[in-house]
């Protein structure tokens, strides 16, 4: 299978295969590969980029923060999405607390990112909040 490209400031080979994402559970399981023991230590925010057939074409870690938050910059997300020429994206971040419910800040940030990407005809498919044993999907909860 085709290997997935990592978009980052330094070029590294990727061991993640390109797959078609058809559900929030599949997105969670795929994105879960990017997290290791850090899942319960600090927040990290990832961007998964997909083509028109919802096949993964690239991913990038946008930010890494502390135990209760991380900075997410729309300009950086737009930069990677545009450079990859993706048709859609899935946002993902973890909550080290184990609580999957999105904060008001999570909801506002997701809306801002969706509106920004809409300007480039890039669709926000989902925003997944990961915890150690479970996840929350904005799409499943009709928050997109």
95-116 b/e (C-beta count within 10 Å ≥ 16 → b): bbeeebebeeebeebbeebbeb
Query: Where are the domains positioned within the chain?
Result: 14-137
Distance CA 62, CA 74 (A): 10
pLDDT tens digits along 64-96? 888 878 889 999 999 999 999 999 999 999 999
Q: How confident is the model at residue 37 (pLDDT cuts 50, 70, 90)?
A: confident
CA dist 110 → 1, 10, 13, 86, 106 (Å): 32, 27, 29, 18, 6
SS (H, E, C) 46-84: EEEEECCCCEEEEEEEEEECCCCCCCCCHHHHHHHHHHH
CATH code for residues 14-137: 3.40.140.10
> pTM (2 decimals)?
0.87
Cα angle value 95/16/77 (rounded, 5°): 55
What share of the chain in percent tops pLDDT 90? 71
CA dist 52 and 124 (Å) reads 12
Average pLDDT of the segment spanning 32-56: 91
3-state secondary structure of 38: helix
């Amino acid at each position: 299978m085709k290997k997935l490209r990592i978009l980052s400031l330094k070029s590294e080979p990727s061991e993640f295969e390109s797959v078609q994402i058809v559900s929030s559970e599949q997105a969670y399981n795929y994105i879960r590969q990017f997290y290791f023991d850090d899942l319960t230590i600090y927040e990290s925010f990832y961007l998964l980029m997909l083509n028109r057939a919802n096949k993964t074409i690239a991913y990038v870690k946008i930010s890494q923060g502390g135990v209760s938050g991380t900075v997410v910059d729309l300009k950086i997300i737009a930069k990677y999405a545009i450079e990859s020429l993706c048709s859609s994206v899935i946002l993902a971040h973890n909550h080290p607390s184990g609580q999957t419910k999105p904060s008001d800040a999570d909801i506002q940030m997701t809306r801002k990112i969706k509106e920004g990407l809409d300007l480039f005809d890039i669709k926000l498919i989902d925003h997944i909040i990961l915890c150690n044993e479970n996840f929350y999907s904005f799409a499943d909860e009709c928050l997109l």
